[in-house]
Amino acid sequence: MKKTILITGASSGFGLMLANKLHQDGFNVIGTSRQPEKYAQKVQFKLMRLDIDDDSSIQSFTKELFAYTKQLDVLVNNAGYMVTGIAEETPIEIGREQFETNFWGTVKITNALLPYFRRQKSGQIITVSSIVGLIGPPNLSFYTASKHAVEGYFKSLRFELDQFNIKVSMVEPVWFKTNLGENAVAATGGSIRDYDVYRKQVQAATQKGMDEAEAPDAVVCTITKLISKKQPKFSNPVGKMTGMILFLQTYAPKMFESAIFKSVKTAK
């Protein structure tokens, strides 16, 4: 029997590419979007309404999901967005909203589906995190914090779910060419003059990283492979230099930090 795979945030970016690929591979794919009516005619897989920020939306979605299908094998947590800006200039409320989606929304939709996975004594949860969930670059403090929170939560959860044969994995991409950067929310707090020069430098460095990013095929490939494995790894960094970045952070932190400082200072 072909697997049924649920992908949140499947109307754009990684989610859309993954949903199309898995559909083409013969899986039963169900995607979610806040506004499925805008995209339903453009995709071949089932697209359902879900706002992971809204408890009532999660509740109604769960009912509709299992009215539509009695089988669910894989949950791919992909929905989320990015806040950019100097930490001190970013209003706390903007940070709270970042966590409401990236962390709490991800946790709440996962919890809504766990009873089903527990009853069937099987399942797989794959969460799209980010390399910044493992490191801490400038200009992304709240986004980085939300991804660190997600990493920690699922790192603990996987032990609790092992007894039910529920596999838990994280995927941590570097910059890839998706609409994540285009849809990023910039900090709207007041500018602090002391950061004026640095702000321009770090924004230039961030933009340079996005401009030089590779196509996201590697992320889709990584998730597809995880779905096919009996014992998938928990942490799965994806992209050029990820191994070196994590090695330097662990074993040569001064060299790692110097590279970040240099990249910001030389950005134009």
Looking at the annotation, which residues are catalytic?
A: 143
CA atoms in the 13 A half-sphere facing the CB of 22: 32
Separation CA 228–CA 244 (nearest Å): 27
- Whether residue 148 contacts residue 133, with contact meaning beta carbons closer than 8 Å, is answered with yes
Separation CA 112–CA 135 (nearest Å): 30
Closest CA to 107 of 153, 159, 44, 158: 153
- Beta carbons within 8 Å of 126's beta carbon, 6+ residues apart: 74, 75, 76, 77, 169, 170, 171, 223, 226, 227, 232
| Burial 184-215, CB ≥16 within 10 A → b, else e | bbebeeeeeeebeeebebbbebbeeeeeebee
